[in-house]
Every structure is written in structure tokens, then in C-alpha cells.
Amino acid sequence: GQNIDQPTEMTATEGAIVQINCTYQTSGFNGLFWYQQHAGEAPTFLSYNVLDGLEEKGRFSSFLSRSKGYSYLLLKELQMKDSASYLCAFQDSNYQLIWGAGTKLIIKP
């Protein structure tokens, strides 16, 4: 079967670093996405990993280990505007996206 799991909620402090984990199980895999979604808005694309390793993009980095079915999104130098839900999703063998429930990130001053 297929499943994907990520924490429901996390809290971090402004200026700090936070890591949001995502684990998945699937027989066919064609990449993993991270999206950011502010309350009441549509998701926006953050990153895509299809090979193992770390992809860095400014304050945000995403890591993938295909053998472990594991990914994380790392946010550095947290800003209040980073308060949002972060959705991970993988593409299966049919290129269907399987979505996690999202992690609500709360940033405190």
C-alpha cells in the first residue's frame, strides 16, 4: 500500500532552525515535493527531490533518502512569515501525487 506521514504541528522560535520530517511508503516512486500553504491560501511550490541528498534553496533545504522512505524540510533563520502549513507529497509510479496531511508550523517571537 501507499502512505505518507508527517507531524501535525510544530512550534519554533523566530531566528531558529526547524526540521519537518516526512516518511512515506510506496512501491513506485517518482519524486517528492514540499509545498507551503498559508491559512486560507493555495499551496505554493517549495522543492522537489527525486535523487538522494540535500537540495538547498536559500533559507529552505530539502533532503531525501529513497532507501529509508524519508524526507525532511529544513527552514533556517525562521521568520514570522514562515508560519504556515507545510505539505509533503510523493509521486507514485503513475505520477499521481499522494499528499501528507500537512504540518502546521507556529513561529513564536
- Least distance (Å) from another protein to the CB of residue 15? 27
b/e map 48-74, b = 16+ CB within 10 Å: ebeeeeeeeeeebbbbbeeeebebbbe
41 binds another protein (CB under 8 A): yes
Contact by Cβ (8 Å): 97, 33: yes
Using CB under 8 A, pick the residue from 23, 26, 76, 97 that binds another protein.
97
42 binds another protein (CB under 8 A): yes
Toward another protein, which CB reaches closer, 55 or 74?
55
45 binds another protein (CB under 8 A): yes
